[in-house]
Amino acid sequence: MRNTPTILHLDMDAFFASVEQASKPSLRGKAVIVGGLGPRGVVSTSSYEARTFGVYSAMPMAQARRLAPNAAYLVPRFGLYRSISEQVMALLRELSPLVEPLSLDEAFVDLEAGGTAWDEGSARLAGAKLRADIRAVTGLTGSVGLAASKMLAKIASEQAKPDGLVVIEPGTERALLGPMPVRTLPGVGPATGDQLRRAGIATVEEIAEAGEDELVRLLGKAHGHALYAMALAHDERPVVAERETKSVSVEDTYDVDIHDRVRVGLEVQRLADRCVRRLRGAGLSGRTIVLKVRRYDFSTLTRSETLRGPTDDPAVVREAAARLLDSVDTTGGVRLLGVGVSGLADYTQEDLFAQAAGDLADAAPEEAVAEPVEERPAVAERHWPAGHDVRHAEHGHGWVQGSGLGRVTVRFETPGSEPGRVRTFRADDPGLEPADPLPLVPGGAEGGGGGPGAGPVAVRGSG
């Protein structure tokens, strides 16, 4: 392991919500919640103001509405988030060829490999300059962690949140990690956390004290060995430059074969949820759901189902995986299960259209994507998803604050303006049309598109 804090981890603060606040002056400093607004929607993220009400990622939207009834509720605009993400990743690539994105808003950078930093002082400067550049180009804040390993760099950026920079000096890692809960370590999810707790191990220090043999006994060879090394702050994983993602999948091997069919079903649901979290984290959706089953005798089966359109909806992936499981005989016992999604697509405006139409038609959003045939009339009609940009012939650029009962309420403001006024129109008002997002920093978007609020942001088109 190197002995300089030259691995950088960047994580943007409340990413989707911060983009919405930068885009909509009236929402700055306010509770903003982004996610699926349909009956089974979940929270993608919440602004820090909304977090004070206890609203967090992955919470059911209905619960969020109870906790924060006065927050602004918006549907995600993935095209916009992706274009901002590309600006941020471009700044990272100026620092080093070794940039490893983990999701739209998160990446590791090996500063030493880029010749950008060689000791603590130069690393600190590079981190501070990066944060300033991100703010100048995107108007957003990101938190930076610097350490001698990926694990510690990620812990550092978590400590830096929001809007900060933390350096973990080499040599101090073990003292820092010791009192932290075991869940801090990569690879420790709720299940492993429970298992360790039952063995009386709650902190990283207690893992180190338990010793490697005990860990291997508890968690199996590979996991136990890896976790023990992490607890001693040994993390040699290199920063790996971006590769094209072909599929997203997760799998679990069980120490004891699972025989109970109900339990197998529950594990598949859990894996489906985990897979979707990863998919969403990467800003992707996919059409083909894959189930992998390794049986007691090591025979391995894969089954797949292709939907009509890409999805990132946990309910859709769960249901498809359950259907696939129906066709697999598991009576002898199962030693490994996996769920994957392939046929990946970037989120497109069309996806959002379908989803929003589903919301308006008061149906579960996934039905608009996964159900066979049957055109919904609402898709052809005009609809106005909450948070999307519009332009009015007379009043100019604004965004949809709400719609329903044949009306649409628009707030007229732009990223560079003062908070704007609200007006209500008929949903079929001929002067009103959907618009592309404007650059968050007036004139700051790449391509230098003229004066304040000039051209629309380049949103990557559908594939």
Q: Name the active-site residue from 100, 106, 112, 173.
A: 106
DSSP 319-358: HHHHHHHHTS--TT-EEEEEEEEEEEEE--HHHHHHHHHH
> What backbone phi and psi angles, to 5 degrees, belong to 249?
-145, 155
To the question of whether residue 429 is assigned a binding role by annotation, the answer is no
12 touching ligand DCP, by CB under 6 A:
yes
Binding mask 106-135 for ligand DCP (x = CB under 6 A): x-----------------------------
Q: Is 16 in the site for ligand DCP (CB under 6 A)?
A: yes
Q: What is the amino acid identity at position 302?
A: T
Verify whether residue 394 is a known catalytic residue: no
13 binds ligand DCP (CB under 6 A): yes
- State the binding partner of 40 from ligand DCP, Mg ion, none, CB within 5 to 8 A by kind: none
Show the DSSP H helices in 29-118 as ranges.
48-51, 61-67, 78-93
Minimum distance between the CB of residue 317 and ligand DCP, rounded to whole angstroms? 14
Distance CA 122, CA 377 (A): 59
Nearer to ligand DCP (CB atom), residue 159 or residue 409: 159
Is 11 near Mg ion (CB under 5 A)?
yes
Residue listed under structure tokens 């510690």: 152
Q: Which is nearer to ligand DCP, 56 or 254 (CB)?
A: 56
Give the nearer residue to Mg ion in terms of CB position, either 106 or 389: 106
Q: Which pair of structure tokens corresponds to residue 362?
A: 């008061």
For the window 54-73, what string marks contact with ligand DCP as x by the rule CB under 6 A?
A: ---xx---------------
Distance in angstroms (rounded) separating the CA atoms of residues 18 and 239:
27
105 is in an annotated binding site: yes
Laid out side by side, the sheet with 165-167 consists of 99-103, 106-110, 7-12, 142-147, 165-167
Q: Which stretch binds ligand DCP (CB under 6 A): 12-20, 164-172, 246-254, 380-388?
A: 12-20
Q: Which two tokens stand for residue 74?
A: 């918006």
Q: Is 20 in the site for Mg ion (CB under 5 A)?
A: no
* Nearest residue (CB) to Mg ion, 11 versus 20: 11
Give the tokens for residue 227.
Answer: 């976790």
DSSP string for 149-172 = SHHHHHHHHHHH-SS-EEE--TT-
- What's phi and psi for 433, nearest 5 deg? -145, 155
Q: Exactly one of 161, 225, 234, 392 binds ligand DCP (CB under 6 A); which one?
A: 161
Q: Which stretch binds ligand DCP (CB under 6 A): 7-15, 244-252, 348-356, 415-423?
A: 7-15
- Find how far residue 179's CA is from the centre of its chain: 28
Strand 247-258 to 99-103 pairing = unpaired
226 binds ligand DCP (CB under 6 A): no
Q: Please report, as residue ranges, which positions from 253 to 282 form the binding site for ligand DCP (by CB under 6 A).
A: 277, 280-281
Number of helices followed by number of strands (H, E) in the chain: 16, 17
Question: Do you find a cis peptide bond into 162, omega within 30 degrees of 0?
Answer: yes
User: Which residues pair with residue 107 across a beta bridge?
Assistant: 10, 101
Q: 60 vs 281, which CB is nearer to ligand DCP?
A: 281
389 binds ligand DCP (CB under 6 A): no
Catalytic residues: 106
> Where on the chain is the footprint of ligand DCP (CB under 6 A)?
11-16, 44-45, 57-58, 103, 105-106, 161-162, 277, 280-281
Which residues make up each annotated binding site?
A: 11, 105
> Where on the chain is the footprint of Mg ion (CB under 5 A)?
11-12, 15, 105
